[in-house]
Chains A and B, each alone.
Chain A
Amino acid sequence: MSEEKYVPKSKLARWFDSRLPLLSLSHHLTEYPTPKNLNYWWTFGGILTFFLIAQIVTGIILAMHYVANTDLAFDSIEHIMRNVNYGWLIRYAHANGSSMFFLAVYIHIFRGLYYGSHKPPREMIWITGLIIYLLMMSTAFMGYTLPWGQMSFWAATVVSNLFGAIPLVGENITAWLWGGYSLGNPTLNRFYSLHYLFPFLIFALVVLHIWALHVPGNNNPIGIDVKKNRNETMSFHPYMVMKDLLAMLVFILIFLGFVFYAPNFLGHPDNYIPANPLVTPAHIVPEWYLLPFYAILRAIPSKLGGVIFMFASIFILVLLPWLDTSKVRSAVFRPLYKKFYWVLVVMVILLAYLGAKPPEGIYVILARIATAYYFIHFLIILPLLGRYEKTSPLPTSISDPVLDKLSIVDKFKKTAAEYEGENVDTFK
C-alpha cells in the first residue's frame, strides 16, 4: 500500500499531524482506492458499522435504566417500556437492531464466501471477522438473558448445561459459569457486565478487521487484483461514502419497519412471561440468528457430540482459507463452486428452519442431512473443487471483462503491427 506522504496545509495542522497522525489517517481513509466494479453486496461493511454503533448507543442508554437483579430485571424493562421517555422506542430499537445486525453479518459473510474474499492474501480479514462473529453471538446470547423472561432463563439454562457435557471438568465449569447450582442472580449480573464489555471488544476487532483489509485493499466481484495505475480504482470519498450511505438508508428503512410496525415479530412471546425455574416452556428456542447452530447441536445424538459439532461448525470456517484450495477467487468464474455455494446457502436456511422445530421425526433426519452436508461441503467438496474444478477463463484486469475481446487500443496496435511490422510501442 504505497502512498505519497500527506502534508497538511496549515502550520497548526502540520504540528498536530506530525505528533498524532489523525489527519493523515483521515486522508488515507478518504483517498483509499476502492475497486470501481464493486456491487451493492460490498455496502454491508458500512451497514454493520452503523448497527454496531446503534447497538452501543441504545445499549448504554438502556443500561441507565435497567436493573440486573432477578427480582427486578423484568420489572425494570417494563419500567423502560412504560415510563422512560421514548423508552419503548430505544428498547425496540435495541432488540430489533440485534436482528438486523445479524442479518447484515450473514449477508456480509456469504458475500465473502461467494467472491472468495477469504482467500489469500485476505486470510486475516476472514479470521478477525470470525472472531467478531463469535463475540457477536456471545453478546447476543447474554443480552437475551437480561430481560429474565421464560425464554431468557431456559435458553440460557440449556446452553450453559451444554458445558456439563465436557468430561471430567464439565460440572465444575458449569457451576463456575453460573456462580451457583443453577442459573440465578450471580449469572445475571456477570452476563450484564460482559454484555456491556463485549461490544467494545468487537469495536477493537473491527478496527483490526478494517486495518487488515486496507493492506491488500478490497476484493471485487471478479476476484482479479486491481491495478492502481490503470484507473481501476476510485477514492473512497465521495463515491463509496455516498453509495454506502444509500445502502445504509435502505437497510435502516427495513429496520425501522420492524421497530415501528412489527416490533415483536422476530421475538418469542414466551419472553414476556417472567422467568419461572419450575415451569419449562413447551419449545425452547434461541433467537432466529442462532437457530442453525441450535439445529446442528440437536442433530447429533450424543450431548457431547452435539456440543463438539456445534463449535466445530464455526471452527472449520477458520480453516476455510486453507480448505478452499482453488486458485480462482470469485465464484463468477467457478461454475461448479457456484452450484455448491447455493446448496450451502439453502442448507443453512434449512438448518435455521429446523432449529425452530421440535426435534422429532422427519425434522431430525433432515437436520442430520443438512449438518452432514455442511461439514462435507467445507471438508471434502471445497478441497476437491480446488484440485479438479475446471474454471472459466479469467480476464486480465477488471477493465477488460474477458480475455478474448481485445480492447480498441490493442486492436489498433495489432492491425497496425500486421500492416508494417514496425514496433507498435512507438505509437504511444
Chain B
Amino acid sequence: MSKKIHSKRRSFLFTATYTIGAVGLGATIWPLVDQMNPDSSVKSLSTTEVNVGNIEPGKTLTVLWRGKPIFIRRRTKKEIDEAAKVDLKDLIDPEKDSDRTKNPEWLVMIGICTHLGCVPLGGKGEYKAWFCPCHGSHYDTSGRIRKGPAPKNLEIPKYEFVDNNTIKIG
C-alpha cells in the first residue's frame, strides 16, 4: 500500500535528479565542443575589403579570402556579351550571367574548381577564360562550367560594393 506511493515519490525524485544532471552535463559539454568552432580572431577575418580601383578592363586580381583564392575580373565588353549570349540549354549547370554578377563589368568568383578543388588558370581553355589543368575542366567568361568533369559553375561568394573602388567579400 505505502510501497506504491513510496515508489512514485521516489522515482519522481530520481527522474528529477537525472534530468537536472543531464542538463548540467550538456551545459558542461557545450563549451568543450564549441571551443573548436572558429574563434573570434578567425571570425574577424571573415570579411576582406579589396581595393579594385586599379584594375583595368580585361585584368583579373586574385586575392585570398578565408584562405581561398578569389578571382576579381573586370570584364571587357566582348566578354560580357559573350557570356550573355549563351543559351541556358548548352550549359552543364544552367545559370544566367546576370544572376552571377551585381555589376556585369565585375565578376567575383571563388577560384576553386568545383570538381576536386584545384585552382583554375586564367586566360586559358576553349573559352579563353579559365581552364583547370588537373582534369581538364573548361569555364567560360562567366565562370560557368562548359566542358570537363566539374559539375558546377565557379562559386560566387557573398560580396558587395562598399564604394566604387572597394569590394567587401564575405
Contacts and interface: CB of A to CB of B under 8 A. Distances in A.
B36 interface: yes
Contacts of A61: 32, 35
Contacts of B32: 57-58, 61, 86, 90
Interface residues of B, number: 10
Given A85-B34, A86-B31, 11 more contacts: A57-B32, A58-B32, A64-B35, A64-B36, A79-B41, A83-B39, A85-B31, A85-B35, A85-B37, A86-B32, A87-B35
29 contacts: A57-B32, A58-B32, A61-B32, A61-B35, A64-B35, A64-B36, A65-B35, A79-B41, A82-B40, A82-B41, A83-B40, A83-B41, A84-B35, A84-B39, A85-B31, A85-B34, A85-B35, A85-B37, A85-B39, A85-B40, A86-B31, A86-B32, A86-B34, A86-B35, A87-B35, A87-B39, A89-B31, A90-B32, A90-B35
Interface of B: 31-32, 34-37, 39-42
A91 to B, nearest CB: 10
A87 B36 CA distance: 10
A38 to B, nearest CB: 22
Interface residues of A, number: 14
Interface of A is mostly: helix
A58 B28 CA distance: 11
Contacts of A83: 39-42
B114 to A, nearest CB: 31
A232 to B, nearest CB: 26
Interface in A62-99: 64-65, 79, 82-87, 89-90
Contacts of A58: 32
Nearest to A93: B31
Contacts of A84: 35, 39
A329 B85 CA distance: 97
Residue among B34, B37, B40 having the largest count of chain A Cβ atoms under 10 Å: B40
A325 B39 CA distance: 59
Nearest to A89: B31
Nearest to B31: A86
Nearest to B34: A85
